[in-house]
Structure 1
Amino acid sequence: MSTILPLVRGSRLVLASHNKGKLAEFSTLLDGYGITVVSAGELGLPEPEETATTFTGNAELKALAAAKAAKIPALSDDSGLCVSALDGAPGIYSARWAGPDKDFANAMQRIEDGIGGNERTAWFICVLCLAFPDGTTHCFEGRIDGTIAPAPRGQEGHGYDPIFVPADETRTFAEMTDAEKNRISHRARAFEAFRATCLA
């Protein structure tokens, strides 16, 4: 692996996502580092087809596509909710379970229907990938374990946050403030590894 040069103040970084919730979350995480974050959606970049079979593979696909199209470094996130009783599903297909209309209420109901009376262990995985226009990539993984709540709770966050209760917590991610979630989430843990290596 080549040496990773840190991103310095004044750098521009494209977030390889069209998800406004993720853009807000990453803008908060990167606040204070002097890096301008612009989303792939703002630049009008197409969303590449996620054809890989792992979080890392899909993160690399997205980051490379954005970095080469924008000609600046790109940061992508591939993350998902894995449910033990569903053999790890929805996993890398978490977004696709919500369908083209991003109907996460329906996706959360699918999970509840699938669990039935089985145990409710679950975990979130996040892989961040930093890619450069020359094709170089560096990936960082974060994970948080927890359980699935019997019904959605809370108005904060996005995606599956209303049904995920982190270990040692009684609240779902959606019942936490952004600051509380960002201290413990899978994305925050992956970001910490990225921060320690890639931010000056």
Structure 2
Amino acid sequence: MQLVFATHNENKLKEIQSLVPKHIEILSLTDIHCHEPIPETKDTLEGNAKLKADYVTENYGLPCFADDTGLLVTSLNDAPGVFSARYAGPESNAQANMDKLLHNLKNKADRSARFKTVIALNLTGKTYFFDGTVAGEILTQKRGQDGFGYDPIFKPEGYDKTFAELPLKIKNKIGHRGKATIKLINYLNTHYATI
């Protein structure tokens, strides 16, 4: 059985491939020669994840799953949320996004936040959703060299290090994307015989 993961990210792909049963072959967008950008125009994480999965299923006729992730900051009414990747503008990078977030939190006492990942799986004519969240807080300064996105300013609950300081193994275990992925894997492991 072949299943497309709607990503060009090789690290994400390898992580998933190591977790799924051997008889399920995970393909990337590159593998199926999908090089055109898939627009993320919905106003929810669920909507964007489904949009990407639907694009592959409708245009390539293949079962597919896709993910979308957002950082939800309590005192900013859950912003940046679905706009996390382009918080500082369409051409922004992680540095600009973090700088804008730290600026907007300057006078806020409540710095609590959570990351949320949603995975949409299109299989046998139906869409299934899996999510994962991790609570924490936004620090006043960046710490750590690893990770990506907002990792240097996000400290997960129960830890004294940011996502950019924690080993990847721990981040994947406690993190939002890891939790959503495990739910997806458990579903595939349980139901693959009926596919």
Normalising by structure 1, we get a TM-score of: 0.84
Selected match of 1:31 from 18, 31, 56:
18
CA contact 1:67–1:74 (8 Å) conserved in 2: yes
CA distance 1:13–1:183, change in 2 (3 Å)? same
- The answer to whether 1:13 aligns with 2:26 is no
| TM, length-normalised to structure 2 | 0.86
Give the C-alpha shift of residue 117 in structure 1: 2.5
Higher relative contact order (CA 8 A, sep 6+): 1
Conserved? CA contact 1:129–1:139, under 8 Å: yes
Q: Which runs of 5+ in 2 are unaligned?
A: none
* Structure-1 residue corresponding to 2:98: 108
Task: Quote how far apart the aligned CAs of 1:111 are.
Answer: 0.3
**Counterpart of 1:169 in structure 2: which amino acid?**
Y
Residues 197 and 122 from structure 1, CA distance in 2 versus in 1: closer, same or farther, beyond 3 angstroms?
same
CA distance in 2, matches of 1:151, 1:183: 24
> Which of 117, 120, 125 pairs up with 1:129?
120
Which one is further off, 58-67 or 104-113? 58-67
Q: Any gaps of 5 or more consecutive residues in structure 1? A: 1-10
CA-to-aligned-CA distance 1:129-153 (integer Å, 9 cap, x gap): 1114x64211111111000121222
* Inter-partner Cα distance in structure 1 for 2:157 and 2:18: 27
Partner residue of 1:183? 173
Residue 195 of structure 1 corresponds to which residue in structure 2? Answer: 185
Partners of 1:137 and 1:98 in 2: how far apart?
A: 32
| Aligned-pair Cα RMSD in Å | 2.0
Shift of residue 70 of structure 1? 3.1
Task: Measure the CA separation in 2 of the matches of 1:14 and 1:152.
Answer: 35
Closer/same/farther in 2, CA of residues 190 and 24 from structure 1, 3 Å limit: same
